[in-house]
Amino acid sequence: MDEPVPFWKHKTLRELNDAEWESLCDGCGRCCLNKMEFEDTGDIVWTDIRCTLLDPVSCRCSDYPNRQSKVPDCIRLTIEEVETLTWLPPTCGYRLVRDGRDLYWWHPLLSGDPDTVHAAGISVRNRTVSEDDVTWEDYEDHEIGWPGEVPYGSERPPAKSASSG
């Protein structure tokens, strides 16, 4: 009997139900990093400054249901946002499905483990500072490039080592 085709391989973003939509988030936390946009060019620059609500270890929002009332500029990822945002990380499940690509091996939907996103070095775990601790004048000191990149070696699962007996 054939294995069922995973929903992200046969549905568009617009066809997903709420549970499928939410499950596309891999929990990396990259989208919750503060970004600077230059008005004259439209260029986006990433920082290692996380939203006040982003837990630095779990890389999840500490108050997801109320995030927009507590952080007014929080962007709720909707289909329309995913279709137009240029800064979604290249590893983002929403972006991958939008672009007709498959999820990476470390995505919890494939690995079955929410910690593989951290083990693969994709998440922001222990790589950020809180926006509560940085003044706007110091943001330029926190510019980084890695959230906009696919980490080397993350495309394939690590080779299994031979166990010694």
Instruction: Look at residue 160 in the predicted model and tell me its pLDDT.
Output: 62
* 1 band by pLDDT with thresholds 50, 70 and 90: low
Instruction: Look at residue 164 in the predicted model and tell me its pLDDT.
Output: 44
The answer, yes or no, to whether residue 165 has pLDDT greater than 50, is no
How far, in Å, CA of 89 to CA of 60, rounded?
A: 16
Q: Looking at residues 72-97, what average pLDDT do you find?
A: 93
* 159 band by pLDDT with thresholds 50, 70 and 90: low
Range from 16-25, 112-121, 125-134, 155-164 carrying the lowest mean pLDDT: 155-164
Q: What is the pTM of this model?
A: 0.87
How far, in Å, CA of 107 to CA of 105, rounded?
A: 6
DSSP secondary structure string, 6-55? PHHHH--GGG--HHHHHHT--S--GGGEEEEE-TTT--EEEEEEEPTTB-
How far, in Å, CA of 63 to CA of 165, rounded?
A: 46
The rounded mean pLDDT for the chain is 90
Instruction: Look at residue 38 in the predicted model and tell me its pLDDT.
Output: 86
Q: Looking at residues 7-14, what average pLDDT do you find?
A: 94
The domain locations on the chain are: 12-146
Q: Looking at residues 121-129, what average pLDDT do you find?
A: 95
pLDDT in tens, 25-56: 999 999 999 999 888 998 899 999 999 999 99
Looking at the DSSP bridge assignments, the partners of residue 74 are: none
How far, in Å, CA of 42 to CA of 84, rounded?
A: 14
On whether the CB atoms of residues 143 and 44 are closer than 8 A, the answer is no
Q: Looking at residues 61-74, what average pLDDT do you find?
A: 90
